[in-house]
Amino acid sequence: MDCHKCKGGKKVHLSLKDDHNCVCDKVKKIVQAQRQVEFDCDSSCHQFIQQLKGDQHRVQHTTIPFMLYCESTCKPFIGSGYVQKKTRCSSDHYYQYIETPFFKAKDVDKKCCAKLELLLPDTDFCCEHHCCDPCTCSYKDNPIKRFLATGVCLTVDLNKFIGINCLAPNTPVDMGAY
């Protein structure tokens, strides 16, 4: 985790300037990096240039998942929302509540307001015990295999966070196809 400052004398690690928001800077860099690898088309100039350079066999991920740490508690921020799902026996839809500490940065503005997508962790435990329903799965004691892109986004003020923990790049699976 980078750049901490907790109230009550706990963890203290800041950038050179106290008024500088290192969490916002990190998320902006994540958005820039993700835009560089964003998949546009199967046949684009960028794709062909990469092939010409010999990069076509390289695994290229689209996302840097991360966790944010709250200023007041030094604990991970938990994002929540509702995802629309279909019932198994009909074409009816319902909404299922989800919560997760994992996010994909979609955009950040100049004032450090960020649009974040909730990423659900997927583990072997989920499929063994919950009929492959990641919304009811516990990830804390089980290794995360991959992330599921939920399509559920929220907007946060990055100035309200004191730390960020980035995970290795990967490509989340669309939850609708799961």
Model confidence at 56, pLDDT cuts 50, 70, 90, reads low
What's at 48, amino acid-wise?
F
Most confident of 19-23, 53-57, 146-150: 146-150
> Alpha helices of 94-171 — where are they, by DSSP H?
124-129
Model confidence at 34, pLDDT cuts 50, 70, 90, reads confident
> For position 129, what pLDDT does the model report?
44
What's at 42, amino acid-wise?
D
Could you report the per-residue pLDDT of 103-140, keeping only the tens digit for each? 999 999 999 999 999 999 987 645 444 444 444 455 66
Model confidence at 166, pLDDT cuts 50, 70, 90, reads very high
SS3 173: strand
Model confidence at 84, pLDDT cuts 50, 70, 90, reads confident
Q: Could you tell me how far CA 145 lies from the centroid of its own chain?
A: 14
Place of tokens 């030094």: 74
Model confidence at 26, pLDDT cuts 50, 70, 90, reads very high
